[in-house]
Chain A
Amino acid sequence: MNMVSEIASAPRSRGASDPAVRMEDVNKWYGSFHALKNINLTVGRGERIVICGPSGSGKSTMIRCINQLETIHSGRIVVDGHDLTAGGRNVDLIRQETGMVFQQFNLFPHMTVLENCTLAPMKVRGITKAEAEETAMKFLRRVRIPEQAAKYPAQLSGGQQQRVAIARALCMNPKIMLFDEPTSALDPEMVKEVLDTMVDLANEGMTMLCVTHEMGFARSVADRVVFMDRGEILEVATPDTFFDAPQHERTRFFLGQIS
């Protein structure tokens, strides 16, 4: 089934040279509130981006535009060579190629861990149950909870639930992973197990955009850190520059507050 999407998009000659994500002059409003202001950001394949900024600065909104959980009003977003502004079919393709992990996990509570992981591959990719379960178990082993496969989400700890959510997203074989504050809803002792899983993923070369305030993670994993404030990208820098020599007054203020 993977082949279908490959073939369907072949004529547009997407090559390895296409960036994973390209946002050009993206603007978004909620009513009269200007939530994203002229966002320009290009994310290369295999690149790890950490996005931070004060509450309400538009971080969630920005990454939710990448898989079209939010629509934009002007500008262009091209994901893996597919222009999202062209609408329809591209949007479906992009959703299949991007995985998303939410702050509140959003596991399906009426399904077991295994069913959570197999639903989309079976219904979207059309693979058999046996195949889907095999893939699911592979990723559940990767996030180190294969023994929980038959349980329901409510029977797991927060950290385990978030790792299931990561495995569930990986089961669709995404090329890009989006994380929206994946550890913010966790008890402190569970943060590490989820971050470790994300580090593993980064080491395997996954393209990642993570909204997080885990600055240790940002320092050790990110290729670039994006700082947002009031709907704008104020600063994009390597972690070293970002933490040791921030350019903007507001960045310095923000870093002072969270550390």
Chain B
Amino acid sequence: MIRVFGWNEFLVIVVAAQWTIALSAIAFAGGSIGGLLIALMRVSEVRAFRLFATGFIRVFQGTPLLMQLFLVFFGMNIFGFAINPWIAATIALALHASAFLGEIWRGCIEAVPKGQREAATALGLRYYHSMRHVILPQATRIAVAPTVGFLVQLIKGTSLASIIGFTELTRQGQIINNATFSPFLVFGTVAAIYFLLCWPLSLVARRMETRFSRATAR
């Protein structure tokens, strides 16, 4: 029998947003660590690192996120792990984020003028200190805006995890819709919640961008 889309149904959807936020946050955290490693490998002097990072980026940028989710999800099963949408979604999204953040941050590292690294080297600073104190702080300033931009993409991308059965915002919407059959109300609500999550971030990104361009114009 068909339920009416009421206050309760609305609340269930809103509450499900926490899983979208949690999945985004964990994927972003994992992706940040992975992305930093990929970016550093990508600009490394060691050829093997560069090749690995380039291949990794190509694969993840050249295939749909949905296929990445499927492959991790079913792959886990093949390698003998219990099927768990939570873990599969987290791993797939973290890998996906590693590749994209790695590529974004590589660009930011390379945007730091070559003379900065040379000056650090000439002062006797070795790789770690030169990266940590000279290159990365400057790259970070450039990276903030595109990184927040990617975070918005990632939040929207988590909706695909619904297809492997992870109950986040989108899937909760589908469940409620199956019960109430009010697709316009249900998915309107779902879309509005995504918008409320993403829009402030876009604003932040734009603010950062203007702040950065002002800082460099100084």
Q: Which of B21-29, B75-83, B132-140 contacts A (4 or more CB under 8 A)?
A: B132-140
Q: Which of B115, B124, B133 contacts A172 (CB 8 A)?
A: B124
Please tell me if A37 contacts chain B, counting CB pairs below 8 Å.
no
A92 with B126, Cβ < 8 A, contacts A102-B118, A106-B119, A108-B119 known = yes
B104 to chain A minimum Cβ distance, whole angstroms, is: 20
Query: Which residues of A have CB within 8 Å of B118?
Result: 69, 102, 106
| Interface flags, B83-103, vs A, CB<8A=1, else 0 | 000000000000000000000
Please tell me if A61 contacts chain B, counting CB pairs below 8 Å.
no
Smallest CB gap from B118: residue in A = A69
Contact assessment for A110 and B137 in the assembled complex, using a CB-CB cutoff below 8 Å: yes
User: With the chains together, A124 CA to B129 CA distance in Å?
Assistant: 9
B142 to chain A minimum Cβ distance, whole angstroms, is: 11
User: With the chains together, A123 CA to B122 CA distance in Å?
Assistant: 13
User: With the chains together, A154 CA to B133 CA distance in Å?
Assistant: 18
Smallest CB gap from B130: residue in A = A123
Contact assessment for A169 and B123 in the assembled complex, using a CB-CB cutoff below 8 Å: yes
User: With the chains together, A104 CA to B138 CA distance in Å?
Assistant: 17
Query: Which residues of A have CB within 8 Å of B113?
Result: 104, 106
Q: Number of A residues contacting the other chain (C-beta, 8 Å)?
A: 26
Contact assessment for B125 and A92 in the assembled complex, using a CB-CB cutoff below 8 Å: no
Please tell me if A109 contacts chain B, counting CB pairs below 8 Å.
yes
Chain B contact residues: helix, strand, loop or mixed: helix
Query: Which residues of B have CB within 8 Å of A98?
Result: 122
Smallest CB gap from A109: residue in B = B138
Contact assessment for A123 and B125 in the assembled complex, using a CB-CB cutoff below 8 Å: yes
Contact assessment for A108 and B122 in the assembled complex, using a CB-CB cutoff below 8 Å: no
Query: Which residues of A have CB within 8 Å of B122?
Result: 67, 69, 95, 98-100, 169
Query: Which residues of A have CB within 8 Å of B153?
Result: none
Contacting B at CB under 8 A, from A134-181, are: 152, 154-155, 165, 168-169, 172
Smallest CB gap from B134: residue in A = A108
A169 to chain B minimum Cβ distance, whole angstroms, is: 7
Please tell me if B61 contacts chain A, counting CB pairs below 8 Å.
no
Smallest CB gap from A153: residue in B = B218
Q: Which of A96, A104, A152 contacts B115 (CB 8 A)?
A: A104
Query: Which residues of A have CB within 8 Å of B133?
Result: 108, 119, 123
Please tell me if B116 contacts chain A, counting CB pairs below 8 Å.
yes
Query: Which residues of A have CB within 8 Å of B218?
Result: 152, 154-155
User: With the chains together, A119 CA to B124 CA distance in Å?
Assistant: 10
Please tell me if B18 contacts chain A, counting CB pairs below 8 Å.
no
Please tell me if B206 contacts chain A, counting CB pairs below 8 Å.
no
Q: Which of A69, A95, A110, A154 contacts B124 (CB 8 A)?
A: A95
Contacting B at CB under 8 A, from A116-135, are: 119-120, 123-124
Query: Which residues of A have CB within 8 Å of B119?
Result: 100, 102, 106-108, 165
User: With the chains together, A152 CA to B123 CA distance in Å?
Assistant: 19
B144 to chain A minimum Cβ distance, whole angstroms, is: 13
Contact assessment for B138 and A95 in the assembled complex, using a CB-CB cutoff below 8 Å: no
Q: Number of B residues contacting the other chain (C-beta, 8 Å)?
A: 19
Please tell me if B213 contacts chain A, counting CB pairs below 8 Å.
no
A69 to chain B minimum Cβ distance, whole angstroms, is: 6
Query: Which residues of B have CB within 8 Å of A99?
Result: 122-123
| Interface flags, A58-101, vs B, CB<8A=1, else 0 | 00000000010100000000000000000000001001101110
Contact assessment for A106 and B116 in the assembled complex, using a CB-CB cutoff below 8 Å: yes
Query: Which residues of B have CB within 8 Å of A110?
Result: 137-138, 141
User: With the chains together, A109 CA to B212 CA distance in Å?
Assistant: 13
Query: Which residues of A have CB within 8 Å of B134?
Result: 108, 119
Please tell me if B44 contacts chain A, counting CB pairs below 8 Å.
no
Query: Which residues of A have CB within 8 Å of B141?
Result: 110
Please tell me if B121 contacts chain A, counting CB pairs below 8 Å.
yes
> Which A residues contact B (CB, under 8 angstroms)?
67, 69, 92, 95-96, 98-100, 102, 104, 106-110, 119-120, 123-124, 152, 154-155, 165, 168-169, 172
10 contacts between A and B (CB under 8 A): A98-B122, A100-B122, A102-B119, A106-B118, A107-B119, A108-B116, A110-B138, A120-B124, A123-B125, A168-B123
Interface contacts beyond A102-B115, A123-B129, A172-B124: sample of 19 additional A-B pairs, CB < 8 Å, sorted by A: A67-B121, A92-B126, A95-B121, A96-B124, A99-B122, A102-B118, A102-B119, A106-B115, A106-B119, A108-B119, A108-B134, A110-B137, A119-B125, A119-B133, A119-B134, A124-B123, A124-B124, A152-B218, A154-B218
Top 3 A-B residue pairs of the complex, sorted by shortest distance between their CB atoms: A106-B119, A120-B123, A100-B122
